[in-house]
Amino acid sequence: MRDANCVFCKILDGVIPSTKLYEDNDFAIILDIGPATFGHALVIPKNHYANIYEMPEEMLSKSICLAKVWGEKLVKAFHADGLNLVQNNGLAAGQTVYHYHLHLIPRYDGDGVGDLWTPGSLSDEQRKEILEKLA
């Protein structure tokens, strides 16, 4: 399963070069070309799924298990102080490559990478609206 216009499919086919850290039948882990921090890597399924909604559950589970093993490996190897797993779906969420991927971002004290959000507040009306819309 490939998409001819997809940059990650091209990487997986070797048409675009990449630095591969790991590979098995279903996944590759490569270094991000525009890293947030030292060692920022991407877990990418070999089949083309545009986002999390298209990912079969078994593949999703595997991607998280790989993130656990490889996230810890990166943290230990680079003496990082923390680890972010980031997974974007849709333009509004910051997705730029429409082939599912899971970011492994080692974090370092004082690395200057911004927080994803500033905490807001949850009103009683919002709480009610949320619960009603999910009912």
89 makes contact with ligand 5GP (CB under 6 A):
no
Between residue 50 and residue 89, which ones bind Zn ion under the rule CB under 5 A?
none
CB-closest chain residue to Zn ion: 6
User: Which of 94, 127, 128, 129 is in the footprint of ligand 5GP by CB under 6 A?
Assistant: 94
| Site membership for ligand 5GP, residue 113 (CB under 6 A) | no
Considering beta carbons, is residue 78 or 129 the nearer one to ligand 5GP? 78
Catalytic residue among 40, 48, 99, 101: 101
Residue 101 appears among annotated catalytic residues: yes
| Closest residue by Cα to residue 122 from 130, 111, 112 | 130
3-state SS assignment for residue 42: strand
Nearest alpha-carbon partner for 27 in 13, 45, 47: 45
Dihedral over Cα of 94, 97, 102, 108: its sign: negative
d(CA 98, CA 77): 30
Residue 6 touching Zn ion (CB under 5 A):
yes
48 is an interface residue for Zn ion by CB under 5 A: yes
How far is the C-alpha of 63 from the C-alpha of 52, rounded, in Å?
11
Of these, 9, 12, 18, 49, which contacts ligand 5GP (CB under 6 A)? 18
- The catalytic site residues sit at 101
